[in-house]
Amino acid sequence: MEFFIQILIAAVAMGTPLLFATLGGVISERAGVINLGMEGLMLVGALVAFVVMLYTGNYFYAVAAAAFASGIVSMIHGVVCLMLRASQIASGLALTFFGTGLSGLFGDKLMGETVEPLSRIPIPGLHTIPVLGPVLFNQDVIVYFSYLCVALSWWLLFKTRIGLNIRSIGEAPEVCDSLGLSVLSYRFFAVVGGGMLIGIGGAYFPLALTPFWVDGITAGRGWIAVALVIFAFWDPLKALGGAYLFGLALALELRLQILGIDMSPYFLKMLPYVLTILVLTLVTIRNNRRGIQVMPAALGKVFFRGEKH
């Protein structure tokens, strides 16, 4: 039983950076903009969080600075693929280069430095619930913040006027434009807001998981998050489940070895992606019958506003 709980605790720890990044991707893609530069943004967030933590020792400042910095960097993506109408996919790849380089450059002198990792704070009352208590309510403060972010982004997307506008713009930008919504402004803010969350995902590495700096500390998690946005069907609540499921896959790869179960790690790596394709196909078939779209219809498409003369 304790072994089982340890797996779940590890799944949450490994899933948390994925969760933030996925939420960021969901918001951005709901507005119709793909961000393939997540790995670069996470690295920028990780570096800035580490530096600020090193000099101020304040977790709040570190997270805020990470969000701010990756927000600024994602503005480049916004300008290039929204205002200058370049391919979102190509721009996202450029962003990966840019963020990886930027973090490596400024991380150069940080080898050997360490910070104090976040400690766990049990939530009174809740942490004694069997299984769920130690897994979900005896975590660090960034994990609790991630719950808040899930709830807030769900509320924002599905319960507010702004969210409705964002989603509509991701579905039918031309219609929204003719209704007087500024497609570009909404998209720009979705990209930047999403970028900030992605940066916080990166910040979780030096603040909690690995409290030091090495080049490429996120080790490809940004690319997993790109897939997770799809796995979550562009829904913040499903992002929570999806991120923990991917976290569980990472934790299981190690714990299956402890149990002596000889399962190929490479098939374990493939599994989530194959599952995503299968589920996506099934849901698309079902929704085709009902005439509902599963994904933002305008995702990845450049928006050309009717020309003015």
Residue closer to another protein by CB (options 60, 273) is 273
| Candidate ranges 123-131, 160-168, 195-203, 260-268; the one touching another protein (CB under 8 A) | 260-268
| Candidate ranges 80-88, 124-132, 154-162, 169-177; the one touching another protein (CB under 8 A) | 80-88
Q: What is the DSSP string of 39-91?
A: HHHHHHHHHHHHHHHHHH--HHHHHHHHHHHHHHHHHHHHIIIIIS---HHHH
The binder of another protein chosen from 67, 142, 200, 250 (CB under 8 A) = 250
Q: What is the DSSP string of 142-176?
A: HHHHHHHHHHHHHHHHHHSHHHHHHHHHHH-HHHH
CB atoms within 10 A of CB 13: 18
Residue 54 lies near another protein (rule: CB under 8 A): no
The whole-angstrom distance between residue 68's C-alpha and the CA centroid of its chain comes to: 15
Residue 298 lies near another protein (rule: CB under 8 A): no
- Give the shortest CB-147-to-another protein separation in angstroms: 20
Using CA atoms, how far apart are residues 65 and 237, in angstroms rounded to an integer? 26
| Candidate ranges 107-115, 136-144, 165-173, 195-203; the one touching another protein (CB under 8 A) | 107-115
Footprint of another protein on 171-200 (CB under 8 A):
none
Footprint of another protein on 12-41 (CB under 8 A):
13-14, 17, 34, 40
Which residues 6+ apart lie within 8 Å of 75 measured at CB? 188, 191, 192, 195
Cβ distance 280 to 238 under 8 Å? Answer: no
Residue 239 lies near another protein (rule: CB under 8 A): no
Q: Provide the residue type at 152 as one letter.
A: L
The binder of another protein chosen from 55, 56, 84, 178 (CB under 8 A) = 84
The binder of another protein chosen from 27, 94, 135, 198 (CB under 8 A) = 94
The binder of another protein chosen from 42, 52, 176, 217 (CB under 8 A) = 217
- Give the shortest CB-67-to-another protein separation in angstroms: 20
Using CA atoms, how far apart are residues 75 and 95, in angstroms rounded to an integer? 10
